[in-house]
Amino acid sequence: MHSRLTPLLRHLNHRNHSSLLHLRPKSTLSPPQSHPQPHSQTLDSLRRRLAEDSPSLDDFIRLQRNEDYSVEVGTKKNPLPKPKWMKESIPGGEKYTRIKKKLRELKLHTVCEEARCPNLGECWSGGETGTATATIMILGDTCTRGCRFCNVKTSRTPPPPDPNEPTNVAEAIASWGLDYIVITSVDRDDLPDQGSGHFAETVQKIKTLKPTMLVEALVPDFRGDTACVEKVSVSGLDVFAHNIETVEELQSVVRDRRANFKQSIDVLKLAKEYAPAGTLTKTSVMLGCGETPRSSG
Ligand code: SF4
């Protein structure tokens, strides 16, 4: 849905939390560079771009009032045809094929496939902007939690993580010529360190292969475990992201019972404490789950 609701909604990242890899080609974040930028300069450029491009609460309120986004559905007896922007085409094209081949070669998972995202074809092919985007999921394709909005496979005992995954992910990213990535994952409550070591290793491998690349880690809540949060926070990432997913009142309805608002906020606070100065922290909320203007304000 987000891909059809104008550039404003494009800012609403695919929620997926946990261990996925979101890939953005160079052109989406900074002007083409003939020489690699120093790291701090690249991060400064990202900060400027976020300040200029990111929607504010007022943008969302305006969007709610904008009748362009109202859809007439007719009645049960006389349903109206769905608008064109609501329909997606079957995935295909050169970019889609290239990304899919590389992912299969390296045995990498994408949240796009695991979550059966209807926008997969457009994102992988570049869509209206020509910018191909994919989201790779690390730590396997099976989650130990069961959030109600999520279609990822779940199990109490998923297979162990692939020890080669951090290297494979780093090599794939480096070969695609990107300069900003988001790594996310499924939750791994079954592992002694909840996958935090694997996460940190993936970030480190990417930074070793391409030090100028900006890395966002979109992590699970690690059940609030301080050591896990610290491990990822000091791994060399540029952005520590963890999604609170929904407003406080709807946490138990929307998320797995092991997740909660306070725990997620505490994880973000811990990351602020442990991550080196200048590291960004970030969270996202899904709208449309039943929140009211009062609860979301
Ligand atoms: S079930 Fe919940 S924790 Fe697991 S991948 Fe889906 S959203 Fe993330």
Separation between Cα atoms, residue 217 and residue 232, nearest integer Å: 8
**What is the best residue among 13, 15, 18 to mutate for testing ligand 1's pocket, by most ligand atoms within 8 Å of CB?**
18
| CA–centroid distance, residue 261 to ligand 1 (Å) | 15
Q: Which of 57-66, 136-145, 173-182 has the lowest mean pLDDT?
A: 57-66
Give the residue-averaged pLDDT of 88-112. 79
* Residue 18 in contact with ligand 1 by CB distance below 6 A: yes
Residue 170 has pLDDT above 70, yes or no: yes
Tell me how many degrees the CA angle 128-176-158 measures, rounded to the nearest 5. 95
Instruction: Compute, in angstroms, the gap from residue 146 CA to the centroid of ligand 1.
Output: 6
CA 44 / ligand 1 centre spacing (Å): 31
Helix (H) or strand (E) holding 240: strand 239-241
H-type alpha helices, 180-240: 196-209, 226-233
∠281-59-237 over CA atoms, to 5°? 15
* pLDDT at residue 73 greater than cutoff 80: no
Tell me, what amino acid is at 139? L
Atom of ligand 1 nearest to the CA of 220: 3
- Residue of the CA atom closest to atom 5 of ligand 1: 186
Give tens-digit pLDDT for 212-230.
888 889 999 999 999 999 9
DSSP state of 100: H
Helical pair 226-233 and 196-209, crossing angle rounded to 10 deg:
0
| Number of alpha carbons in the 13 Å side-chain half-sphere of residue 261 | 12
Does position 178 have pLDDT exceeding 90, yes or no? Answer: no
Within 10 A of 27 (CB to CB), how many other CB atoms are there?
Answer: 12
Ligand 1 contact, 186 CB (< 6 A): yes
- Which of 51-55, 120-124, 144-148, 166-170 is predicted with the least confidence, judged by mean pLDDT? 51-55
Q: Identify which of 109, 187, 221 to mutate to test ligand 1's pocket (most ligand atoms within 8 A of the CB).
A: 187
Owner of token pair 């966002």: 216
Q: Which of 110, 83, 72 is nearest to 5 (CA)?
A: 83
**Cα distances (Å, whole numbers) of residue 292 to 227, 246, 287, 288, 295:** 36, 11, 10, 9, 5
Of 19, 150, 258, the one to substitute when testing ligand 1's pocket (max ligand atoms within 8 A of C-beta) is 150
Give nearest CA residue, ligand 1 atom 2.
147
Q: What is the pLDDT of residue 28?
A: 35
Predicted confidence at residue 26, as pLDDT, reads 37
Packing angle of the helix pair 261-274, 226-233 (nearest 10 deg):
50
pLDDT digits (tens, 9 = 90+) for 22-68: 444 333 333 333 344 556 667 777 777 777 776 676 776 666 666 55
The dihedral over CA atoms of 241, 246, 251, 254, expressed in degrees to the nearest 10, equals -100
Cα Rg of the chain, angstroms: 19
Nearest CA among 284, 272, 204, 194 for reference residue 237: 204
Candidate from 114, 143, 153 with most ligand 1 atoms within 8 A of CB, to mutate:
143
Give the Cα separation of 31 and 100 in Å (integer). 27
* pLDDT of res. 57: 67
| Band of pLDDT at residue 128, cut at 50, 70 and 90 | low
Q: Which pLDDT band, with edges at 50, 70 and 90, does 133 fall under? A: low
pLDDT, residue 193, reads 98
Q: Which atom of ligand 1 is nearest to the CA of 115?
A: 6
Instruction: Enumerate domains of the chain plus CATH numbers.
Output: 2-30+37-60+83-296 (3.20.20)
The pLDDT of residue 47 is: 76
Compute, in angstroms, the gap from residue 145 CA to the centroid of ligand 1.
6
What's the confidence (pLDDT) of residue 226? Answer: 98
What the block records as the tokens of 143 is 């989650």
Task: State the pLDDT at residue 297.
Answer: 61
Quick check: CB of 245 below 6 Å from ligand 1? Answer: no
Comparing CA positions, the residue from 21, 17, 210, 181 lying closest to residue 108 is 21
Q: Is 221 in the pocket of ligand 1 (CB under 6 A)?
A: no
